[in-house]
Amino acid sequence: MKADSPSILLIYTGGTIGMINDPVSGSLKPFDFSKIMKQIPEIKTLGYHIESYSFDPPIDSSEIKPETWVRMAEIIEKRYQDFDGFVILHGTDTLAYSASALSFMLEDLAKPVVFTGSQLPMGDLRTDGKENLITSIVIAAAQEHGKAVVPEVCIYFESKLSRGNRTTKVSAEQFNAFQSANYPYLANAGVHIIYRREAVRYKGKFRKLVVHKKFNNHIAILKLFPGITPEYMDAVLGYKELKGLILETYGAGNAPTESWFLERIEKAIEKGVVILNVTQCSRGSVEMGRYETSRQLLNAGVLSGYDITTEAATTKMMILLAQNLKTEEVKMLLNKSLKGEITLP
């Protein structure tokens, strides 16, 4: 190993990728990532300096909480000067939420943080985990002229690298489980890894890494559906501590125009609840005012989420609401692209 070889920290939080078959019981168990070179000897040929850190016990992705995101971010913060890049191994179910959260938490990030996982355990003969892990390491280590090629929080899965806060899980079955519907992939990995540098966010002036660690999770997601009732809305909006609402609307941001619906939206806004309009469609953007069914939401004070994912909207709102900002400042920042999470018209 060369003295100047890239250094990568693997952070195993839990999930399928870190599982192998126990030869005695036949059941799946987490393997020891400190012995990763033994489990995946191909990594040695990369010639990188690789260390690992494992959550003990590992956390199933369905158990992820804001406190878990803080723990991940603090590991990166503590070891930031020691490594050129970071690879976070994570269960797939909430991986897009975690990648979105860290994209907003890690202010002035100048190094790659690549999330990955797998649909089949590392110990399975047909596992997708080995390729996902090895390529994630290569991407995290990639540099040009002494600077990272992709200094962002990203997700690598099945030959595609996407911006973390632009990505959604779309399949529980296929290896190609994640999609960046409204933003180009940052890289495609085939025989060669082809980077789309024009799609990558690069910092201007160098600034020290700042980590935001506070979340306000007094928010709700209200998904509209035909037949939604006033009582259902009252149950959601009646949550006493409610500070923010992500309103998942139809198409380009459309919602019912019945008086009882709009009255409840207006009342919530008057109480100080910040409401962000996000489309239920995987592709496309909210265009408030394009149709009469969204114009009334706009007039009531509902904010456009443009083409933001629900995962990014959720984590962005929780972080902004925790920063002791005035309501108008929160609204302004929700309508601003902070980490490349939305495409403004």
Q: Where are the domains of the chain?
A: 7-211, 219-334
* DSSP-based three-state secondary structure for 35: helix
Burial of 194 (0-12, 13-18, 19+ CB in 10 A): exposed
Q: What is the pLDDT of residue 2?
A: 47
Q: What is the pLDDT of residue 172?
A: 87
Cα Rg of the chain, angstroms: 21
Q: What is the number of alpha carbons within 13 Å of residue 99 lying toward its C-beta?
A: 38
Q: What is the pLDDT of residue 294?
A: 77
Q: What is the number of alpha carbons within 13 Å of residue 199 lying toward its C-beta?
A: 19
Q: Which residue has the tokens 């020891």?
A: 32
Domains 7-211 and 219-334 agree in fold: yes
The answer to whether the beta carbons of residues 167 and 155 sit under 8 Å apart is yes
Out of 13, 16, 249, 314, the active site residue is 16
| DSSP-assigned letter for residue 241 | T
Specify which residues 143 forms β-bridges with: 148
Distance, in Å, from the CA atom of 248 to the CA atom of 220, rounded to the nearest integer, reads: 11
Distance, in Å, from the CA atom of 154 to the CA atom of 166, rounded to the nearest integer, reads: 9
Distance, in Å, from the CA atom of 17 to the CA atom of 156, rounded to the nearest integer, reads: 13
* DSSP-based three-state secondary structure for 175: coil
324: amino acid identity, one letter = N
Q: Give the CATH superfamily of 7-211.
A: L-asparaginase, N-terminal domain (3.40.50.1170)
Distance, in Å, from the CA atom of 81 to the CA atom of 301, rounded to the nearest integer, reads: 44
The verdict on whether 309 is a catalytic residue reads no
The answer to whether the beta carbons of residues 177 and 160 sit under 8 Å apart is no
Q: What is the pLDDT of residue 199?
A: 96
Q: Which residue has the tokens 């990955």?
A: 116
Burial of 164 (0-12, 13-18, 19+ CB in 10 A): buried
Q: Which of 324, 284, 279, 318 is nearest to 302 (CA)?
A: 279
Q: What is the pLDDT along the chain (345 residues), one digit of tens a residue?
A: 445 789 999 999 988 787 777 666 666 667 676 666 677 888 888 999 999 999 988 999 999 999 999 999 999 999 999 999 999 999 999 999 999 999 999 999 999 999 999 888 777 778 887 889 999 999 999 999 889 999 999 999 999 999 999 999 988 888 888 999 999 999 999 999 999 999 999 987 778 999 999 999 999 999 999 999 999 999 999 999 999 999 999 999 999 999 999 999 999 999 999 999 999 999 999 988 787 777 889 989 999 999 999 999 999 999 999 999 999 999 999 999 999 999 998
Exposure string of 199-236, with b = 16+ CB inside 10 Å and e = fewer, is bbeeeeeeeeeebbeebbbebbbbebeeeeeeeebeeb
What architecture (CATH level 2) is domain 219-334?
3-Layer(aba) Sandwich (3.40)
Note the pLDDT tens digit of each residue in 192-227. Answer: 999 999 999 998 777 899 999 999 999 999 999 999
Q: What tokens appear for 264 in the block?
A: 């409840």
Exposure string of 87-109, with b = 16+ CB inside 10 Å and e = fewer, is bbbbbbbbbbbbbbbbbbbbeeb
Q: What's CA 110's distance to the chain center, in Å?
A: 17
First to last CA, the chain: 48
